Amino acid sequence: MAALLTTRFVPTREFIAGPADVADCLYSFLSSRGTAGQPQHVQFGRSVVALNFHGFTDDTRYDRALKPARAPQLGPDFTIDVIDGAASGMPQLKLAWQGADFGRKRTVPGWSDEDRTTYLLPEERGVAVAEWTRHRAAIWVPSCDAVPWYERAAPFRWLFDNLALRLRMSMLHAAVIGRDGVGVLIAGRGGVGKSTLALAALGRGLDYVADDYCLLTDDACPKAYGLYVTAKWKKDASVLPAWLMRTTPDALDLSQRKCIIFLDVARPAQLVAHLSVAAIVVPSIADVAEPRLESLSQQAALRSLAVSTVAQSEADGAALLRNIGRLVRTVPAYRLHMPPDPDASVSAIEALLGRKISEPEHAVRH
Amino acid sequence: MTARAYAFNSADFAFETFANEIVVLNVVEGTYFAFGGSSIDIWDALANRRPVQAIVDATAARHGVPARLVEQELSNFIAKLAAEKILLAAQPADDPISLPASPPTRGFQPFSFEKHDDMEDLLTLDPIHDVDPERGWPRY
């Protein structure tokens, strides 16, 4: 490692003209640098992604929140190389992009096409290029210190949005919980109680896939896969499931005041790879003594799920909306009127799951 | 009105059609819209460059209502859609999508239009307007 740290990379041109050149530059640097050691294979729905961290140490790399691949011996479907610029000796690239090239998200539309997507990572002041037909992406960050906590808690979400669609999945802004292989997808914008309900369900012994983001397959009987092993909750939340009040978080996201826990350690038996989606539940805190489920129209379910998903996604919004449209026509949706105690609301989810598991057509599915 | 036609702005919007509502989502800004009433029956034709006058005539005939009434509803509806850039002015299609011809199951209903922008704050990044010419890196 010491020898590698002395390597200085000098870009051949002062300003880089476009995404192909950014990719050339990053991969030329990686070639000149040699291998990063054994890649980490992580599970990405039904697929496997290989991760190579360059210049990072075991303490600074940020793949802890991802799930190790169930069959790491299989070749990866996609490879991500992450470069710590300071530790690797690769300075910030000078890029010939202009203000008009940027959009409202991380994707840089003016520097993206069908085959390549360029990303600006504003918090890190980093840059990334995904080359979809070559099944790879390279990410440059100025240093490991520039990687924010939310990225460490849910790494590469901005990249995974697009990758998911290309692998016939959709990355949704939703929590997923269930039991016996059957789950409900909990949808709604941040703050409606998705994570709180998912964590309360975890405390009551239900299986857990995700508290914030999941991967949905486009099968006739859709499955939701978990991507991250982390669960998050607000440090100053006024309402918390009882078990979390007794739990010491593994980490704290100082910027968003969110507590983070690694469930593969805290609750490994309940962290399942995937569940078949049998219903969509949209929580809403209400002035009720008991939780109550109310049927929700397809279009209301679409809005609850699609708007926050698409607003935050870097992927093709029309394709996402189509996939979500298919989902809401496939499974029923409910609004869950939740009393202030989130633990009390889990009983409504358990009752719903009990009905779904016992339905004959569902037995056929599984 | 005869030559007017419109195309759906698929670069910035996507939509899903349900039995009694059309949901349109601005995939760039996070705003969304819900349309109802008899707009559901004419949406495909309107969004696919069928001349507006042809839509008015067909809808009035199908529902047995005065063309003037349909024209007024449709003009107001189009004005809102155009203002939001959901529809863009376009040349009429050579082979336009047909309008429903079967007898309607319900009477002509006013076109409803709702806009929701409560999700705009989910967009976490501010627009970038310029780049430092020395460093080749955006200012924000």
Instruction: For chain A, give the percent of residues with pLDDT over 70.
Output: 93
Rounded Cα gap, residues A105 and A124, in angstroms: 14
How open is the CA angle A216-A221-A224, to the nearest 5 degrees?
A: 25
State yes or no: pLDDT of A362 exceeds 80.
no
State yes or no: pLDDT of A56 exceeds 80.
yes
Question: pLDDT averaged over chain A?
Answer: 89
What is the predicted pLDDT for the residue at A6? Answer: 43
Domain assignment present for B1: no
**Max mean pLDDT range (A13-22, A233-242, B78-87):** B78-87
Between A and B, how many residue pairs show a Cβ–Cβ distance under 8 A?
Answer: 99
Enter the DSSP assignment of B72: H
Residues B109-120, mean pLDDT to the nearest whole number? 86
What is the predicted pLDDT for the residue at B2? Answer: 46
Q: Which residue of B has its CA nearest to A123?
A: B125
Rounded Cα gap, residues B6 and B51, in angstroms: 8
CB contact under 8 A, A95 and B29: no
Residues A154-171, mean pLDDT to the nearest whole number? 96
Domain assignment present for B43: yes
A134-161 residue pLDDT tens: 999 999 999 999 998 889 989 999 999 9
ipTM (interface predicted TM): 0.85
B16-33 residue pLDDT tens: 999 999 999 998 888 899
User: A191 in contact with B at a CB cutoff of 8 Å?
Assistant: no
Query: Which of A104, A106, A308 is most worth mutating to test chain B (most B CB atoms within 10 A of its CB)?
Result: A104
Residues A205-231, mean pLDDT to the nearest whole number? 94
pTM (2 d.p.): 0.89
Write the single-letter amino acid at B124. Answer: T
Domains in chain A, ordered, with CATH? 2-147 (no CATH), 170-365 (3.40.50.300)
Chain B residues contacting A via beta carbons under 8 Å: 10, 14-16, 18, 21, 23, 25, 27-30, 32, 34, 116, 118-120, 122-125, 127-131, 135-138, 140
> How many of the other CB atoms lie within 10 Å of CB of A109?
15
Residues A57-78, mean pLDDT to the nearest whole number? 90
Rounded Cα gap, residues B70 and B65, in angstroms: 8
Distance from CA of B46 to the nearest CA of A (A): 19
| Least confident interval from A64-78, A296-310, A328-342, B123-137 | B123-137
| Least confident interval from A12-16, A338-342, B59-63 | A12-16
- Kindly list the distances between the CA atom of residue A8 and the CA atoms of A3, A89, A91, A147, A180, in Å, as whole numbers in the listed order: 11, 5, 9, 22, 54
What is the predicted pLDDT for the residue at B59? Answer: 95
Q: For residue A5, name the pLDDT band (cuts at 50, 70, 90).
A: very low
Q: What is the DSSP string of B16-69?
A: EE-SS-EEEEETTT--EEEEETTHHHHHHHHHBT--HHHHHHHHHHHHT--HHH
Per the listing, tokens 């507006």 go with: B52
Rounded Cα gap, residues A233 and A238, in angstroms: 11
Q: Which residue of A has its CA nearest to B133?
A: A96
Rounded Cα gap, residues A325 and A36, in angstroms: 42
Q: Is B8 helix (H, G, I), strand (E, B) or coil?
A: strand
CB contact under 8 A, B23 and A106: no
In which domain, by residue range, is B67 found? 6-138
What is the predicted pLDDT for the residue at A364? Answer: 36
Tokens of B125: 């990044």
Instruction: For chain B, give the percent of residues with pLDDT over 70.
Output: 91
Domain assignment present for B134: yes
With beta carbons less than 8 A apart as the criterion, state whether B64 and B57 touch: no
With beta carbons less than 8 A apart as the criterion, state whether A261 and A323 touch: no
Domain count for chain B: 1
Look at residues A283, A291, A293 and name the one whose alpha carbon lies nearest to residue A345: A291
Q: Which residue of A has its CA nearest to B35?
A: A299
Rounded Cα gap, residues A176 and A186, in angstroms: 6
A275-329 residue pLDDT tens: 999 999 999 988 899 999 999 999 999 999 998 899 889 999 999 999 999 999 9
Contacts of A120 in chain B (CB under 8 A): 128, 138
Q: End-to-end CA distance of chain B, in Å?
A: 46
A108-119 residue pLDDT tens: 999 999 999 999
With beta carbons less than 8 A apart as the criterion, state whether B45 and B87 touch: no
Rounded Cα gap, residues A233 and A227, in angstroms: 17
With beta carbons less than 8 A apart as the criterion, state whether B112 and B39 touch: yes
Domain assignment present for B108: yes
Which of B15, B30, B130 minimises the CB distance to A311?
Answer: B30
What is the predicted pLDDT for the residue at A84? Answer: 96
With beta carbons less than 8 A apart as the criterion, state whether A44 and A215 touch: yes
